[in-house]
Amino acid sequence: MTNKTMQAATLMVQGTASDVGKSILTAALCRILVQDGWQTAPFKSQNMSLNSYVTFDGKEIGRAQGVQADACRILATTDMNPILLKPKQDMVAQVVVHGKPYSDLDARTYRETYLPQAEVIVKEALSRLRSQYDVVVLEGAGSPAEVNLKDRDIVNMRLAGWAEAPVLLVADIDRGGVFASIVGTLEILTPVERDRVKGFIINKFRGDVSLLKPGLDWLEERTGKPVLGVIPYLPQLGIEDEDSASLDSKRMQSKRNESSQEKQADQLDIAVIRLPRLSNFTDFDPLQEEKDVHFRYITHLSEWGEPDVVLLPGSKNTMDDLRHLNESGLAERVKVFAQNENGWVAGICAGYQMLGAKLLDPNGYESDHPELEGLGLLPTETVFTSEKRTVQVQGSSTLFAENGTEIVIDGYEIHMGRTRYLQEMVTPFQIKSLSSDNDLHGDGAAADHGRVWGTYLHGILHNDDFRRAWLNRIRNHKGLSRIEGGLRFKERREAAFDRLADHVRSHLDMQRVYEMMELSKPWNREDV
């Protein structure tokens, strides 16, 4: 035995475009490698996303890398996504470095000034992961063939070179033009970059693969590279999507099957207002799995319909999205729904802030509006500050508990506002940081016997007992029978990783993938 450090094997998943399935396939490969006995970690050097994940130590990374860490059955760290870009407005994003806000930068400044610094950060994070794990699975961003970005690329082919990683190029056949997208991508790459691509994965296939065979043969002959797998479309993944591009895909898929999406008589119609700057929409994933819920998004007032419940989600810019609600007429409609129509309303993070009486931003941390009236449905007032709170929490709630009991909950916070109460009240949630035993405090607010409530806790609806108690309270109010037990979302999610891994493994030539990584069997890191 020696103390020599061996660098982990690497594999990189790149795509011909955004939303071709890179994140999900990376998660699948992570779980396959773990199933086969390898200590595995995910890595994405730079992620642009409004869907965040909070690490155990209270740092913020892209949701996709948090999910991939879960697939690896390890705790996520900022080394797995050292740079996160969170769009704030056109051409401007908040740059988050190792989980903490660095600066708001426009696209030109980021590219010309910050990318040289980012390169060092990325290499150091990758090196640390490769010293700690057997395999690191890297995910690219967008397309490696963006000719205007290649000279300062830190997330695709240059990264593959730094990582010495064989590249699997993924294309989405559901978009059409799959062969052109693959061949076109290769044509734009340099010979060295082209050589790094070791094979292709055609994703989201529907139909008889034998009908595709002539095209696959042509592609292999044309490029000299193998098609390693044709992955059939897998519905109802049960695993979070990364960002709003995938949310758009979901909505389109829902419209294709509109006849099967009609509300049933014993279902609750739950509508989420899709804000322009919507973030962390994965908060609502469990509701889409509940059999007694008809779930949908509202973008315009014309889509209101007859909801039983209206939810206000998180936002990257609360003030501007509140103005949107006012200007679109949705704000007034929510108020009438809650006050005059006996409707149920809840808000998470920014949605919670909007439900209050007033939002104050005197220093312009969120927008150029120093003060806005909220919806006035909760007795709260929020002031925006420069300090962002990012923390994983656990605690309890009595809000919908019965017989004097408490419901155990957990979740995470990502917000810059500080909310105070305008009258004395019993807070619906008691929480503390996972990393501290001494900060037990109240969170959120509720009114009208729980018909209106809000919280800073992302993931609150991932708590099975709390979600079911809330839904049953609404069902009782609507004269519907309660449902016992119900969905165990967290257990289903773990099973979903195995289902995804089995699906991909059965359609991907894993033997050749292992050969590309020069791996045969797990080795003991200390016996080298």
Active site residues per annotation: 349, 458
Token pair 């992302």 is at which residue? 458
Label residue 176 exposed, middle or buried (CB < 10 Å: 0-12, 13-18, 19+): exposed
Rounded distance, CA 279 to CA 97, Å? 19
CA atoms within 13 Å, Cβ hemisphere of 344: 19
Token pair 């056109």 is at which residue? 90
Rounded distance, CA 153 to CA 169, Å? 17
Rounded distance, CA 66 to CA 238, Å? 15
Rounded distance, CA 66 to CA 42, Å? 9
Compute the radius of gyration of the chain from its Cα atoms.
Answer: 24
Q: At what angle do helices 22-35 and 63-72 cross, to 10 degrees?
A: 20
494: helix, strand or coil: helix
CA atoms within 13 Å, Cβ hemisphere of 424: 0
Q: Which helix (H) or strand (E) holds 474?
A: helix 464-477
* C-alpha distance from residue 174 to each of 19, 83, 132, 167, 261 (Å): 11, 30, 37, 22, 21
What are the residue ranges of helices labelled H in 73-212? 107-109, 115-132, 157-163, 178-188, 191-196
Amino acid at 363: N
Rounded distance, CA 282 to CA 462, Å? 9
* Nearest of 509, 511, 30, 515 to residue 231 by alpha carbon: 509
Rounded distance, CA 179 to CA 398, Å? 56
* C-alpha distance from residue 107 to each of 89, 90, 174 (Å): 11, 9, 31
Q: Which helix (H) or strand (E) holds 336?
A: helix 330-339
Q: 49: left (phi > 0), else alpha (psi -120 to 50), else beta?
A: beta
* Torsions phi, psi for 445 (to 5 deg): -150, 155
Rounded distance, CA 35 to CA 39, Å? 10
